[in-house]
Every structure is written in C-alpha cells, then in structure tokens.
Amino acid sequence: MGLRDSPRAEVSPAFLSLTLDASLARDPRYVALLSNSKLRALATALSPGFLRFGGTETDFLIFDPNKDSTSEEKIVWEFQAQQEACGSRPAFAAVERVLLAQWPSQEKMILAEQNRKKHKNTTITKNTLDILYSFANCSGFHLIFGLNALLRKGGLQWDSSNAQALLDYCASQRYNISWELGNEPNSFRKKSGIHIDGFQLGQDFIHLRQLLNNYALYQHAKLYGPDVGQPRKHTRRLLRSFLKSGGKVIDSVTWHHYYVNGQSATRGDFLSPEVLDSFATAIYEVLEIVGQTVPDKKVWLGETSSAYGGGAPRLSNTYVAGFMWLDKLGLSARQGIDVVMRQVFFGAGTYHLVDANFEPLPDYWLSLLYKKLVGTKVLQISLAGANKRKLRVYLHCTSSLNPKYREGDVTLFALNLYNVTQHLELPDYLSSKRVDQYLLLPHGKENILSRSIELNGRVLRMLDDETLPELVEKPLGPGRLLGLPAFSYGFYVIKNAKAIACI
C-alpha cells in the first residue's frame, strides 16, 4: 500500500455524478415526476455532483418558448411559484399517481423506439426547463444540458436558432447551467440519416462557444463534448478529428461506456473478470487520443452504466450490477478519469439507481457509501497471493467530508469474484490499526439477483419519504483479517493509517 507516497491520481470532488436521460421528456408530462420529495431526498444524499440531462433524445428535443406546457408541468410549477423554491408539493400527489400508473406503458414505448432506432421530435417548453433546473438545483447538483445537434442548415452547418431561444430563456431566469451539443455523434447516421464528421462537429462547438460568449451569464459557462460512444475504430477517428478541429473550446472531453448489450447480457457477464477488464482497455484508447490532441484536457465518462439499451432486465437493477459499478469507479479514478456520470438516476430501463416506485436499488446504496467513504485522492495498492483479476482492490484517502474520520485515514474497497470467501491481510505496519467494515451483501432468497441489500447485516431502506437510514459501520479489532464472502463487495476504512498523501 502506497501510504508514504504522493497520490497516484486525484479526481474531481464531483467524481461520482448522475444523469437523467432526455427520454424522460419524450412526453414532457413525466418530467413533472422530478418534483417528488422522496426522489429529491434521494438525490440530495448523493450531492454534490453534476446532473447531466442528455441521451439519444437530446437530438430530437425542440424548445418552443411560446407553447403551452402540459397540465402536469403547469400544476407542479404553479405550486412551486407559490411556495419557497425548494418546498414540498403535497397537492401534486393525485397527478403523480396518474403519471406513475401510466409510466410502464410510456417506458415500453421509449425502449421500443431506442431498439428500432426510430426517433420523433418532441417539443419541450419553459416549464420543462424550470422543473429540470429546479430538481438539480434543489438537490445540490449542477445541471449540464445537452443541446440538439441534429438541427442543420442546408450546407450541414449546425442551425443554432433553437439553441439561442433556449439560451435566451435560461439566461432570463438566471439559470446557472453548463452545456453539451449532441449525443453520440458516431451514430447520427443510424439515428437520423445525417452524417456529421469530426471536423464539422468541432466547428459547431466553436459556433456554440461564440454563442455562449454573447451572454453575460454564460461567458464563463463550461462546454463539454463530444459525448462519443465506445472507442471503436470509426468513433476513434471521429473523436480525433473533432478534438483537432474544436477541442480548444471544450472544458473536458466526454465519452460513453457500457460493458454489454442489455438484450443479451447474462449473469456471468456481470461477474466476469474479462468483461470488467475490457473497460481498462477502452480508457487507455481514449486517453491516448486525448493525449495526442488536447493533452491538457480532463477526460470524463459523460454517460455510463452496465448494459446499453436501458440495462439488462433482472440484472442491472440487482445486487450483481454492483460489481460492474464499483469496479468502474475504482478503475476510472485509478486511470485518471476525472468524473463518472451514472446512467441513470431515475428513468426508463433497469439501469436506474431509483426505480419507478421511487425505491432505491442496490447501486443507489453502493453509490451513497462510495460518496460517504471514498475521497478524491487515489493511492497505490497491490495484492499478493490471489488472482488480482478476481479479487479486485482499490485504495483512496477517506473522504474528508466524513465527520467520523480524520486526515490520514484510508478507504480500501474490494470486490470478490471468487465463489469462496477471500481474506485480505493488511501489511504489518497497519496490523495494529482499527478498521471500520462496511460490507454489502444481498438480502433475501434471490441472493445476488436481489433488489435489496444489507450493510453489515442490516437491510438498507428509507425510514420515511424524506429520511435515509444511518450507514452504521462494524468496528473490527486490530490484526483481524478482512473477510470478503464469495461474490460480494465492501469498503474498509483503516483508521489512523497516517497516510502522508492524505494529510
């Protein structure tokens, strides 16, 4: 363990960030669900961070400042105007019940459109933006909004008139937002028949930067992109030419990653060291391109989850998804990815952190523990005596925001892909230290396919709609081996480790 060295890497304080998929606005009535007080309490507990509103639907949303909002959005926004900005909305309950009853069929339609690659334009209104901004702002997140890149003039340049109308409105409301332009430009042709190369997209970003500079509020607003998909051959080419053409105007380089196809993924994929390792290769390929074109730019995972296409049913929303998620967080930080945006906080599919009944799923609790225990500085750690691909360990300084812990404490987190218990033995110089264990195990007879999770033997669930449970550690005496059961993961805070990098 590299406790005497300087940190291997340091990531953003907003390292674990969230997304909402733009498909939530495919019928903007459903955006009104973001006013739910339980959803806001769950989001607030994961703050601070970025909240990216984007996805395929980004490039099919048209803003109409003169159009009347849906009645659901209007009701929410009128209540909001009467109360303090972030108050609760008890009067919305009846409308919410109707929306939730209709959501399953809406979700089917969204996923079917994604599968068929058939997308229709949708109009959003001022209230859509109001509710979205209010959700982010009231939950302690900074909104990143994806603008439609498929609005094109005859000569294929980007038509910025709709973006300008949207910027005019957001500026008039003093909304502090960062911006993106387009989603996965590598598949524009498949989605819309329009092909835009990296050079042209770079020019479009320069145009957007100039547009932002016309607004006092957005002169210093951040711009992120190009939100390309996995680094396959054609995508690598597009990323490289985009960065050469427009890389100077973006603040971080964004790309997307999923391990597997949600339609065909198996339980074995979620537990496969080979599948988990494939992510490290993808990071290397992206960092290589960025290093050769815009070496000073930070790299972000602008959208990421276990399985694309909305997730893998009965897998992405269970305990087993945690192996991909925790390993992705560990590898990203270790390899120098600055921010990781989790697809999705709430919305269609099964890769959400919070389901359609506003119930937090295992990956939600895993994210919460990560936020509370893992700091921004990454430390060196290596393993002797086991296959490091099957027993995967990561080490960070403990989060400086956690009042239970002190400077110099370190957090070890580990995933056991063996089908038997593995014991981690700390090096001699730490054997006298006290350790707090936060072991996460599945709850109930579904075992690793369970949608509920235990922390040190206690089931994690909300106490009421506004109150999260306390995350109670299990203190281990000095000299103990750290036992990690078969197919499980957990965090260990080593107290008083006096790591120089963490002081």
Kindly state the tokens that stand for 143: 């909104």
Distance of CA 380 to the CA centre of its chain: 25
Q: Which residues contact 415 (CB under 8 A, 6 or more apart)?
A: 323, 326, 327, 391, 392, 488, 489
Residue 58 one-letter amino acid: T
How would you class 219 by CB atoms within 10 Å of its CB: exposed for 0-12, middle for 13-18, buried for 19 or more?
exposed
The sign one gets for the Cα dihedral 56, 57, 60, 64 is negative
Question: How many CA atoms are closer than 13 Å to the CA of 470, on its beta-carbon side?
Answer: 4
Alpha-carbon span 183 to 190, nearest angstrom: 13
Mark whether 303 is an active-site residue: yes
What angle, rounded to 10 degrees, do the helices at 362-373 and 321-335 form? 30
Tokens of 424: 């981690």
Helices and strands counted in the chain (H then E): 12, 21
57, 72, 184, 454: which one is catalytic? 184
With b for 16 or more beta-carbon neighbours within 10 A and e for fewer, the 443-456 pattern comes to: beeeebbbbbbbbe
The sign one gets for the Cα dihedral 45, 304, 182, 113 is negative
Compute the half-sphere exposure of residue 471: CA atoms within 13 Å on the CB side of its CA: 21
Torsion sign, CA atoms 330, 453, 304, 263: positive
Q: Which helix (H) or strand (E) holds 274?
A: helix 273-293
Decide if 184 is catalytic.
yes
Query: What is the spatial distance between Cα 271 and Cα 161, in angstroms, rounded to a whole number?
Result: 48
| 57, 303, 454, 473: the active-site residue | 303
Instruction: Indicate the SS3 state at residue 245.
Output: helix
Going by the DSSP 8-state scheme, the letter that residue 69 receives in this structure is: P
Residue 263 one-letter amino acid = Q
Would you list the DSSP string of 407-438?
A: TT-EEEEEEE-SSS-EEE---GGGTTS-EEEE
| Residues forming a β-bridge with 298 | 252
| Sequence-distant (≥ 6) Cβ neighbours of residue 403 within 8 angstroms | none
Positions marked active-site: 184, 303
